[in-house]
Structure 1
Amino acid sequence: MTPFRLHIPDDAIADLRERLARTRLPDQAPGDPWAYGTSVDYLSGLVAHWRDGFDWRVQEAALNAFPQYRAPLHDIDLHFLFVPGKGPKPLPLLLMHGWPGSVFEFLDIIPRLTDPASFGGDPADAFTVIAPSLPGYGLSFAPGQRRFAIEDIADCLAELMTEVLGYPRFAAQGGDWGGFTASCLGVRHAEKLIGIHLNMLSIRPDLPPPSNPTEEERRYLAEVAAWMREETGYQWIQGTRPQTLSFALNDSPAGMAAWIVEKFRAWTDNDGSIESAVDRDRMLANISLYWFTGCIGASFWPYYARLHGAWPIPDGRTVDVPMGYAAFPKEIRRPPRSIAEKTYTDIRRWTVMERGGHFAALEQPAALTGEIATFFRGLR
């Protein structure tokens, strides 16, 4: 482990601002401004703020307020936050983001997990949080390095927890690819897992439908059909031609922002405005990290691996470690428990949340923290 502190050079920040100043926007298609993708007016305003109002150094300092390290693992330098808990016996918790996320998602939730007493909670619920930049993402990326499928990510992070940090058993939590990785850990490294908590389930969307579906199952099947028809274009291009797409997004910060903010609008529990669900500058910090590290192409690789390989949970296998699930109402897919039980055999907690979406740690940090603490309380 080598201590790490993020510092983006001044000339890289200046280059970003110069590129933003030269943005060439397309025309707006007729109709609803978000009907065909990102709104031109919205992106124009976001680019102007990113160029003239956004302060990267403030966000950089917020990340650097937490202890960070790098460790050589699986042919890369893996970056991770390692924040000790404040309590009588903190539980080691591997906290994982997905795409298009980063460790910036966790800056509000980590203090709640590591020091619950400061937020009116019980010190006995404290966690020691290990939050890696997933291999191929952000500060765990370097040009030319190997690419990682979800199975590879799971193996790498299991080694981080057990061999580098010395935890023979640990807890894991995640959404998006982080949720997939936690589930994969529950199959490939079950003996190392105390339990997993998820805010997105690893359920194949192409499973045969139940022969006599319940009303809830019919709702889910209709959601999946609509999702496959209208919302999976990004998966197909990222999963089939990741290199081609990366040319455009790695060269144009406005293009990268357009590609990512559409997901923040579609996948969060907002009132039509992204900022009603997530902080604009925190979202831009996340996008900026993709830009400064040049990782966007590598971040697509789990999609390519999924479309050209096996599902992360192999056919015929199940996740048998204790599992808890927070079902946020605006998550991109929300399978009912009856379907989830075919994959997860030991569901200990299943909570339907009042508000929130795909980026739960950003949108509802207090609610998500409460669910994580309650679930693992019985497993300590």
Structure 2
Amino acid sequence: MTFVRPFTLSVPDAVLDDLRDRLARSRLLDDSPRRPRSGMTAAYHRQLVKSWRDFDWRARERWLGRHPQFLADIEDTTIHFAHLRASRADAPALLVMHGWPHTFALQLDFADLLPDFHVVVVSLPGFAFSTPYAEGAVTERRLAVTLHTLMTDVLGYRRYLTYGEDVSANVNDLIAASHPDAVAGVLVTHAHFPTPDERHQVTSLEERAFFARLAASHEKDGAYGHVQATRPDTLAAALNDSPAGLLAWLAEKLVEWSDTPPGDPAAVEARISRERILTEAMIYWVTQSIGSSFRPYYEGADTPGPIPPVRVPAAVFIQRHEYDYPESLARGFYQDLRVFERLDVGGHFAVAEVPDAMAARTRAFAVALGLLS
């Protein structure tokens, strides 16, 4: 039986002093002339760097610490997770998985709104306080096995709901498809994408248009992923040594992928507050996990074969960055689709951006499944 032990977050003063010193000595650049539009500007970057230098981390650390956190050894990784238990022993359990570039911390506001659930907010291997796999690749199938083991063998939940996004979206689907006896339902904001080979067989005009738009977007916005998949250590060396650089790399994606108007990076703070942005940067900095967070990009990209269809009850909420995702794709893959809804608000980080709305939807799904009254 795996031994679960408490985890207490406490960043040494020396690490904080070193960080502030580095931030104070940052060499910041002006915007390049005629640069392509992105989620970061020199003006906003300066604001963030100054705010991070003055950040009251101890207050934030105390807030994080109010969420009970634990470590568990599974295979050759140590998994970190927050475990928010409901007062009722028979309350439904919910696994919540993050993606890149965020961490478990960005999803805690959502978890706090579900006191009638046993919520497990996990750090993926190599992210935050979870260690990377010591041997072998970080593949979606391996992550699915690890996190299903956490929920069942380690924490003892016979059945649970599952939610994933970004790099854990396929993990979410794999868990549901592989363990229908244990998964009571799957919550989705990053709906299933067919493999490249499967996309070539698409005949629907709507589906073809969707994949064409994605390809065009990836052509101009996908450089980050290409670098992380092809030159991860070179990039990580720079970001691990420069907090200002790390902050720019992470915050740009929080801006670009959230449901905020283009051209005003600070508008992201209506969805993800500056305090939360700085918390994400701080966790990457103190754990030196930016390099290991790239591993799914270059190790997990070759997961073989299509994912089998999901036959457990599914609730699919299309977030704004995939606003044109065809319903036909969802109905073909999620074969017991109970809910299909296009969100009016909420982008790539839906449960972090609109936690109240997504908590209400999660609760309604659980009620419809008979898991809550």
- Same topology, TM > 0.5: yes
Aligned AA for 1:113?
A: L
Following the alignment from structure 1 to structure 2, what is the Cα–Cα distance between the partners of residues 59 and 340?
39
In structure 2, the residue matched to 1:320 is 311
Following the alignment from structure 2 to structure 1, what is the Cα–Cα distance between the partners of residues 205 and 20?
53
Aligned AA for 2:155?
A: L
Is 84-93 or 99-108 further displaced after alignment? Answer: 84-93
Question: In the alignment, does 2:211 pair up with 1:208?
Answer: no
Instruction: List gaps (5 residues or longer) in structure 1.
Output: 115-125
Distance verdict in 2 for CA 1:368–1:240, change over 3 Å: same
In structure 2, the residue matched to 1:113 is 114
Calculate percent identity across the aligned residue pairs: 35
In structure 1, the residue matched to 2:80 is 79
User: CA RMSD, aligned part only?
Assistant: 2.1
Q: Is the 8 A contact 1:96 1:178 kept in 2?
A: yes
Distance verdict in 2 for CA 1:143–1:128, change over 3 Å: closer
In structure 1, the residue matched to 2:26 is 23
User: How far does residue 166 in structure 1 lie from its aligned partner after superposition?
Assistant: 0.9
Q: Is the 8 A contact 1:75 1:146 kept in 2?
A: no
Is 83-92 or 235-244 further displaced after alignment? Answer: 83-92
Q: 2:15 aligns with which of 3, 8, 12?
A: 12
Following the alignment from structure 1 to structure 2, what is the Cα–Cα distance between the partners of residues 171 and 149?
22
Question: In the alignment, does 2:86 pair up with 1:62?
Answer: no
Is 314-323 or 132-141 further displaced after alignment? Answer: 314-323
User: How far does residue 150 in structure 1 lie from its aligned partner after superposition?
Assistant: 1.9
Following the alignment from structure 1 to structure 2, what is the Cα–Cα distance between the partners of residues 47 and 336?
40
SS in structure 1 opposite 2:312? Answer: coil
In structure 1, the residue matched to 2:346 is 356
Q: Is the 8 A contact 2:160 2:185 kept in 1?
A: yes
Following the alignment from structure 2 to structure 1, what is the Cα–Cα distance between the partners of residues 72 and 299?
24
SS in structure 1 opposite 2:335? Answer: coil
Distance verdict in 2 for CA 1:230–1:83, change over 3 Å: same
Q: Is the 8 A contact 2:195 2:306 kept in 1?
A: no
Question: In the alignment, does 2:335 pair up with 1:345?
Answer: yes
User: How far does residue 296 in structure 1 lie from its aligned partner after superposition?
Assistant: 0.8
Aligned AA for 1:328?
A: Q
User: How far does residue 36 in structure 1 lie from its aligned partner after superposition?
Assistant: 5.1
In structure 2, the residue matched to 1:50 is 52
Could you list the per-position Cα deviations for residues 297-330 of structure 1 after superposition, in whole angstroms to 9, with x for gaps in the alignment? Answer: 11111111233342xxx3272222221111122x
Q: 1:40 aligns with which of 33, 39, 42?
A: 42
Aligned AA for 1:98?
A: G
Distance verdict in 2 for CA 1:143–1:185, change over 3 Å: closer
User: How far does residue 177 in structure 1 lie from its aligned partner after superposition?
Assistant: 2.2
In structure 2, the residue matched to 1:120 is none
Q: Is the 8 A contact 2:185 2:314 kept in 1?
A: yes
Q: 1:189-208, aligned counterparts within 5 Å?
A: 189-204=179-194, 206=196, 207-208=199-200
Distance verdict in 2 for CA 1:12–1:164, change over 3 Å: same
Aligned AA for 2:45?
A: L
Following the alignment from structure 1 to structure 2, what is the Cα–Cα distance between the partners of residues 133 and 375?
24
The count of aligned residue pairs is 361
Q: Is the 8 A contact 1:319 1:345 kept in 2?
A: yes
Please, what TM-score do these two structures have when normalized by structure 2? 0.90
Q: 1:378 aligns with which of 349, 368, 371?
A: 368
Distance verdict in 2 for CA 1:209–1:262, change over 3 Å: farther
Aligned AA for 1:324?
A: A
Q: Is the 8 A contact 1:223 1:333 kept in 2?
A: no
Following the alignment from structure 1 to structure 2, what is the Cα–Cα distance between the partners of residues 333 and 181?
22
Following the alignment from structure 1 to structure 2, what is the Cα–Cα distance between the partners of residues 294 and 184?
29
User: How far does residue 108 in structure 1 lie from its aligned partner after superposition?
Assistant: 1.4
Following the alignment from structure 1 to structure 2, what is the Cα–Cα distance between the partners of residues 56 and 19?
16
Aligned AA for 2:149?
A: E
Distance verdict in 2 for CA 1:159–1:205, change over 3 Å: closer
